[in-house]
Structure 1
Amino acid sequence: MSDPLSPVSLRRMNKLIQLSEKEQPVKVVKNPFLPTRLLDVQASCPSGLRLVITETDPDVCKLDASQRQYAALSYCGGSGDAALKQLKTTRNVLQMHLAEVPLEKAPETVADSIRVCRALGLRYLWVDALCILQGDREDWSKESFQMSNIYENSYLTLCVVQGDSCSSGFLRKDHNPPNVRVKFQSKLDGSISGNITLRMLHPPPATLRRCTKGFGKYSRIDDEPGNSDLESASWGKRGWTFQEDQLAPRKVFFGNLMFHVSRGSKLEAADSSTVEHFRFIDTMGSLQQGLKTWYNMIIDYSERVLSFEQDKFPAIAALARHFSERFEGQRYIAGLWESDIHKGLLWTLTSEWKEFDEYQRLVPKEYTAPSWSWARRPLRLDWVLIGDENPKSELIRSCCLGSS
């Protein structure tokens, strides 16, 4: 199933999405949440694509609650020219995009996600670069606060786990299967000789991918395509994609080998193979268990990469909001929780460095977090007390003072 949009692939994908929906039913409420803006991928304009303001758009307003579904895109925007040149919505072009978004100018990953939505019959799509006003701090502040709602309430999240920028795309694969040419000569008739080319028709096992030039990025010794696709992906190493993966109830992952659909605590691939892929937030029971889960999430998150260290808190703000809504009365303080601050402060670094000066150079010069917060250190973390120990403490006062 190398083409995700072939009739066979689409039937398989739709079946897996339906099974996923049974396991994670869509919440039908009177006024379902919709992001402020969405892309209408079935618009009547020439490109078939335009931006809509959901609160006032007539087509959106006439939909009943069960029809107000949208997909969200989770991808690596990339750095450098690809990210800078990406098609964006700004104040200056907002009115133009409300009339029509030029599809031919969209980066390949965004264009491919639009093709997927059209093939699946999903009319609306949320893409951060086009649905949040770029360069507008007020709009960014407002929309980033809604990030938990955007992913939690999406009908489907498209996770592009191949490629490392918005220009990579994920539908058109130029990869040629590994092949080897073998010389032969007939033992029955010496005049018969030539070359035989052997080519793989199916994804090779990981042990072979490790020693094949075309698959040099893979490191897992595992036969399952899901592990190969996810373990090697830049997407899984980026800070922003962490909360998107955690919050989205239904996901389709587009990997180098094939697509995979989330089903409970596992991913099921196009070829029916499965791998474990659980969400931390599904392990939150009591407050005590929730706090333990929070620390485990931060340990995982601390291994991920952010283009800007100032995004350390914004990139998990949606998870913090989810936690505070689940456990009412919990006060969030610089990546920790007031009721458990005595344990939260006992973080330790597991990364190694040779000299203290080397460690100091890793600490961002610009202000990112209080010195006592784990977020101040761009290194892998662990906690001294993360088990069932429950020492008591009383917080007298907490405050954050800006640096001069």
Structure 2
Amino acid sequence: MPDDNGERDPNICKDVGVMAKLNICTAKDGETGKWAALSYCWGGDSNFTLNASSFDDLRSGQSLATFPATLRDAVLVTRALGFRYLWIDSLCIFQDNINDWAVEASRMSRIYRHAAVTIAATSAETADAGFLDKRAPYYSCPFPWRRRSHQGSVNDASRAYPVVLRSYTDTFNKEPARSSRWATRGWTFQEELLSKRILYYTKEEMVWKCRAVTFREPELKPTTTSYIEIPPPLPVPLPKPEQLYADSMSDPYRIWYLLLEIYVSRDLKFDRDRLPAIEALAEFFHAQFREQYCAGLWREDLRFGLLWSIHRNGHYPGPHADTAKRSEVRNLSYQYKHNKERYAPVGVSSKQRKPSWSWIGADNYVDLKWPQLGQLRWLQDYTYFAFILDFKVHGQLQGVFGHVEGAELTLEAPYRHLHLKLDGYSKSQWNPVRVAQRALMRPSPLPSLRELAQVALVRPGYLAGTETSGSVIVPSSSTDFTFIRIAEETRTVPPALYLLILQPQPRNATNNRGPHHYRRVGLLRLSPHRYYGSDSVRVAVTKRLESDAYKEVTSEKWPVGTFVID
């Protein structure tokens, strides 16, 4: 049966037909058809997967009774909807073949975009949990009513409508799908956004969503399509690519950054999945503006893309802000509530992910952000001081959107080398050691810039309301750092100047010749702030440091150099 668009079948699909046994089947060249796709949480340690040893058994057929409950329920739904084929990642991709995995991951955009429907098993926390027989009951009762303009008895059946009583226990009154473990998984993010039709199975109800309407059980009338929770809201699923950018007010780069800010807070079992889990989404965007993909960022907007930062402290005052933030996340977020060993990271990963200049270098579960995404980009005017000279990728298996072992970014920018002593920096503002440090800093070049950098790299919890952020893995014995000027916002009031903090990398077998290599360890945002009497101590200190550093940097001319950042 041809698809709406005559789309070619995935290479491997599950034939769920009406036979007693279900088998995997491979698509022939040029074959088209309709299929359903499953979006779910693997969870646990399910061994029911496609690999070299299980291929023959799965191809010859397996009894439905042997399937994990979530997969079995998905088969039943697929049959009930009248489809013969079901795509399940664990059974349609060889899990023990990294090359096959990379190839199929690169095709995931087409699989979910062209699936007739995506079954979202949001209420199942693992592959063994199932989602058809564990629904919370809902209650309704007749509610007699009568319009004043009409005569007749209030007991007239034609005037009685059911009133549904729902129980929402989520702290923020989110819809059930948003409060599920499924909504915290990294892989389900692109699966939901790219699907053109989605059937959600939540603990409370079934929900049908497409690009036009949303139907909720047991409501009789459709509502407008719901939105994923980012400002401004994006429709779920995403509209067709040409519709996404038809509005001149929509900036595709801005939309990409907004999506990333949500995605990085989601959970991935394997660290190497950070790019593959949004590979299909990247392919979707690439189809529109046809430019080079640079390890999670885009070449034409790469200089702005470098301005990502980690917002650590939220609205909590004082030196215990990180503790308060961690406590909030554990109490209000599903992923922290069910995984107590997790923590609230505050900078570049201790695993030293590469490349450090991309958002990939940040830890998962962080509050990642770019400057002023809440405003229209065309209302802002950025003056860029850095120029991108080259971009090289290392260890890329398949395609241009998947996993990379590393990537080098070569740029030319104004710079200053500064010496910082981090190991003796005191956290107390009036500690005698701290006072002596400040006194010794004043005669040195750019004293406020040095102080701000030391706070960002050693005591980031003392900064408030800023994009300034630093790494948590800078060795305390480090003294040599390089500051490069990237960009300045000139239309904002007050203006803001952005500097990257780079740390020289030691020479090794692969880096013993040619230009020195660096690693990004922080971002500074400098601005001539206005002071207010209502400012807290942290806000006042942050404003003072950033304002004084802004005056220092803008009052002198920096030399221009070339830097290779890993």
Which TM-score band (shorter chain)?
A: 0.7 to 0.9
Are 1:74 and 2:39 matched, yes or no?
Answer: yes
Are 1:335 and 2:296 matched, yes or no?
Answer: yes
**Matched residues in 2 for 1:161 and 1:220: separation?**
18
Residue 9 of structure 1 aligns with which residue?
none
**Matched residues in 2 for 1:238 and 1:27: separation?**
30
Instruction: Please point out which of 130, 138, 147 is paired with 2:108.
Output: 147
Residue correspondence of structure 1 range 176-215 to structure 2 within 5 A: 204-206=165-167, 209-210=168-169
Structure that is richer in strand per residue: 2
Distance 1:280 1:98, change over 3 A: closer
Residue 58 of structure 2 aligns with which residue?
97
Q: Check the 8 A contact 2:50/2:90 in 1, yes or no.
A: yes
Tell me the CA shift for residue 219 of structure 1: 2.0
**Matched residues in 2 for 1:246 and 1:228: separation?**
17
RMSD of aligned C-alpha atoms? 2.9
Deviations 1:159-189 (A, max 9, x none): 11113111111111275679xxxxxxxxxxx
**Matched residues in 1 for 2:192 and 2:345: separation?**
32
Residue correspondence of structure 1 range 235-254 to structure 2 within 5 A: 235-254=182-201
Instruction: Please point out which of 276, 286, 292 is paired with 2:226.
Output: 276
**Matched residues in 1 for 2:348 and 2:13: separation?**
38
Equivalent AA in structure 1 for residue 84 of structure 2: R
Are 1:125 and 2:86 matched, yes or no?
Answer: yes
**Matched residues in 1 for 2:356 and 2:216: separation?**
44
Tell me the CA shift for residue 151 of structure 1: 0.4
Distance 1:351 1:203, change over 3 A: farther
Distance 1:203 1:306, change over 3 A: farther
Residue 260 of structure 2 aligns with which residue?
298
Tell me the CA shift for residue 385 of structure 1: 4.5
Tell me the CA shift for residue 390 of structure 1: 5.0
Are 1:28 and 2:2 matched, yes or no?
Answer: no
Equivalent AA in structure 2 for residue 151 of structure 1: Y
Secondary structure of 1:244's aligned partner: helix
**Matched residues in 2 for 1:392 and 1:280: separation?**
35
Instruction: Please point out which of 323, 326, 331 is paired with 2:285.
Output: 323
Distance 1:52 1:202, change over 3 A: farther
Residue 484 of structure 2 aligns with which residue?
none
Equivalent AA in structure 1 for residue 368 of structure 2: L
Tell me the CA shift for residue 202 of structure 1: 8.2
Secondary structure of 1:257's aligned partner: coil
Q: Check the 8 A contact 1:335/1:373 in 2, yes or no.
A: yes
Tell me the CA shift for residue 265 of structure 1: 6.0
**Matched residues in 2 for 1:367 and 1:162: separation?**
35
Secondary structure of 1:397's aligned partner: strand
Are 1:384 and 2:357 matched, yes or no?
Answer: no
Q: How many pairs were matched up?
A: 324
Q: Check the 8 A contact 2:136/2:204 in 1, yes or no.
A: no
Residue 109 of structure 1 aligns with which residue?
70
Deviations 1:115-172 (A, max 9, x none): 0111111100000011111111111011001010110110110011113111111111
Equivalent AA in structure 2 for residue 391 of structure 1: Y
Deviations 1:319-359 (A, max 9, x none): 1111112222x11111110100111111121233649xx98
**Matched residues in 1 for 2:344 and 2:133: separation?**
43
Q: Check the 8 A contact 1:370/1:400 in 2, yes or no.
A: no
Tell me the CA shift for residue 364 of structure 1: 3.9
**Matched residues in 1 for 2:308 and 2:204: separation?**
38
**Matched residues in 1 for 2:36 and 2:101: separation?**
20
Residue correspondence of structure 1 range 41-56 to structure 2 within 5 A: 41-42=16-17, 44=19, 46-47=20-21, 49-55=22-28
Tell me the CA shift for residue 382 of structure 1: 1.0
Q: Check the 8 A contact 2:348/2:356 in 1, yes or no.
A: no
Distance 1:230 1:202, change over 3 A: farther
**Matched residues in 1 for 2:77 and 2:309: separation?**
43
**Matched residues in 1 for 2:249 and 2:370: separation?**
18
Distance 1:155 1:125, change over 3 A: same
Equivalent AA in structure 1 for residue 226 of structure 2: E
Q: Check the 8 A contact 1:35/1:150 in 2, yes or no.
A: yes
Are 1:372 and 2:365 matched, yes or no?
Answer: no
Q: Check the 8 A contact 1:88/1:134 in 2, yes or no.
A: yes
**Matched residues in 2 for 1:241 and 1:203: separation?**
30
Instruction: Please point out which of 208, 215, 220 is paired with 2:172.
Output: 220
TM-score by length of 2: 0.53
Instruction: Please point out which of 132, 140, 146 is paired with 1:171.
Output: 132
Equivalent AA in structure 1 for residue 24 of structure 2: L
**Matched residues in 1 for 2:138 and 2:226: separation?**
27
**Matched residues in 1 for 2:88 and 2:94: separation?**
11
Are 1:397 and 2:390 matched, yes or no?
Answer: yes
TM-score by length of 1: 0.73
Q: Check the 8 A contact 1:265/1:276 in 2, yes or no.
A: no
Q: Check the 8 A contact 1:280/1:297 in 2, yes or no.
A: no
**Matched residues in 2 for 1:361 and 1:150: separation?**
36
Q: Check the 8 A contact 1:346/1:385 in 2, yes or no.
A: no
Q: Check the 8 A contact 2:34/2:83 in 1, yes or no.
A: yes
**Matched residues in 2 for 1:174 and 1:229: separation?**
12
Distance 1:75 1:28, change over 3 A: same
Distance 1:332 1:288, change over 3 A: farther
Higher mean C-alpha deviation, range 289-298 or range 359-368: 359-368
Are 1:344 and 2:305 matched, yes or no?
Answer: yes
**Matched residues in 2 for 1:132 and 1:204: separation?**
42
**Structure number with higher relative contact order (C-alpha < 8 Å, ≥ 6 residues apart):** 1
Structure that is richer in helix per residue: 1
Secondary structure of 1:396's aligned partner: strand
**Matched residues in 1 for 2:104 and 2:197: separation?**
21
Higher mean C-alpha deviation, range 158-167 or range 282-291: 282-291
Secondary structure of 1:144's aligned partner: helix
Residue 234 of structure 1 aligns with which residue?
181
Distance 1:160 1:319, change over 3 A: same
Tell me the CA shift for residue 284 of structure 1: 3.2
Tell me the CA shift for residue 369 of structure 1: 2.9
